[in-house]
Chains A and B, each alone.
Chain A
Amino acid sequence: MIEALGRNILNLTQTAGEMVKLFGQTVLYFKEAPRNLPSIFRQTAEIGIGTLPVASVLALFVGMVLALQTGSELALYGSQEAIGAIVGLSMVKELGPVMTCLLVAGRVGSSMAAEVGAMQVYEEIDALKTLEISPIRYLAMPRLLACLFAVPALVIFSMLIGIAGGAFISDINPVINVPYNVYYENMIRAIGYLDIVKGIIKATVFGGIVAHVGCYVGFKTRGGARGIGQSTTRAVVMSFLMILVADYFLSRLMM
């Protein structure tokens, strides 16, 4: 029992150590990014454009539900003007970054783990090494950079859509009945530039987590098609947990 616990802790520290090291190496290869520009562009486009439709739908409905529930509650006390501030702040500081990045983890992180994992299992990574092409430079670096560009952009977009969704519901719902201009003024007064910057910082960190976990798990894949399947799940679970933990600490740090 204690032995098993010890082994688990050992595994955890080993994984953490490996991840930090891999991250360091990936970042070191940033200086060679110009050589892989086409690959970085392709990845960025794939992540950004590919996730955009789902992310929009998600943000729209989160904004709408948020406005509907808080708005009708606020209406009881006659303070529904605050709805713009509430929806705006939650989208910018919390919901936009976290929800979008959880979505990206499910969609992009899993496919990265599967792709890199398949390359590991089918000896493509070995072949890269014999061609003296570093798998970190060729695979991990472009993916990490692409996520660092694409995810914040996606998150900004989600914030806007969510806010728009909230505004729409506030306007048409007869109970809430807050016109667009009131919603907008209220929101602008509440959100500072710093809030937006903090939201974008979160998005960047979460994006980095998704790409890094996807590649790390991919590289560690063993054991055929089954192993690839396990890696996909593992990448999603790991990024979810890491995003949530990072969210707490980032929020605390940037209070």
Chain B
Amino acid sequence: MSGFFKKLMHGFSQDSDPVTNYEGSKGVGLRIENLNKSFEDNHVLRDISLDIQAGETFSIIGPSGTGKSVLLKHIVKLITPDSGKIYIDGQDIFAEDVDKKPKGYRYSMVFQTSALFNSLSVGENVGLWLREKRVCPENRIRRIIREKLRLVGLEGKEELMISELSGGMKKRVAIARSLAMNPDLILYDEPTAELDPVTSDELARVIMDLKKELQLTTIIVSHDLNFALYLSDRVAMIDPEGIVEVGTPDQIKASENPVVRKFIYTTTKGIKGED
């Protein structure tokens, strides 16, 4: 019971917090220690430990159903672990008293399913956080919405309703909605899954530009290997047994680990194998 309630109460104490320092992002470090999570007898996450530096672009790759989305949901506190800890910016995010004080950083997540608010228009989706938090005056909010939509190639689409969008457009609106928060930590769950190659390239450029401009920490879960390897400072490969390997894209490509090699040198989706 308290679990259900705690979930609903998520964000209760921060609700009336003023949003300080909207302009800049600082990038926060993230440390995950021995995270375990089971759903009934399905042990999804096994002893996951990761250390992600402030300002780093970090990708997580791995087969379907290994708990990548579940891992991201732990980081944004939608799921609580059975055991293990997550530190963001040095703070244990699951500590008892953590909701009592302001966090001092912002995170946002692009859901695998986009999870847009169906009853709102595109512009209202992107601006919801700004408006609810009273971050800035309305005309400024409109400008921010236009700017973020432009970044994802949806300029001038503010008035469309969510049901009128294609899957790829929804994903891009979700990305714009996350960017509107100016987060210090941004999580992308399959950002390119529904995008065409050209839009994927553009998204890659946007993510790189953001990183240069804002030094934010980026975590990407993707099956799009070229995308992940191209963008990332480091990549982690996860499989049902836990984390298999962590390294720079070059290290991953050169890995001797058979699990990693099998995953990335495939015919249709991987990078071209050297035969």
Contacts and interface: CB of A to CB of B under 8 A. Distances in A.
Nearest to A115: B119
Interface string A3-47: 000000000001001100110010000001001000000000000
Nearest to A131: B129
Contacts of A69: none
A130 B5 contact: no
A73 interface: no
Contacts of A181: none
B275 interface: no
Given A18-B5, A22-B5, A129-B78, A134 B115 contact: no
A134 B4 contact: no
B interface majority secondary structure: loop
Given A21-B5, A124-B117, A134 B10 contact: yes
A124 B115 contact: yes
B4 A133 contact: no
Range of interface residues on chain A? 20 to 34
A208 B177 CA distance: 33
Contact of B1 (A17, A118, A129, A131): A17
Interface stretch (B45-53, B80-88, B106-114, B137-145): B106-114
Contact of B9 (A130, A131, A134): A134
Contacts of A115: 119
Contact of A137 (B15, B73, B115, B129): B15
Contact of A133 (B1, B11, B76, B119): B11
A179 interface: no
B116 interface: yes
A130 B7 CA distance: 11
Interface string B89-130: 000000000000000000111010101111100000000110
Interface string A119-143: 1001110111111111111100000
A111 to B, nearest CB: 12
Nearest to A14: B1
A131 B132 contact: yes
B14 interface: yes
A76 to B, nearest CB: 56
Q: Give the one of A25, A115, A123 with max B CB within 10 A.
A: A123
B8 A126 contact: no
Given A25-B9, A122-B113, A123-B115, A130 B78 contact: yes
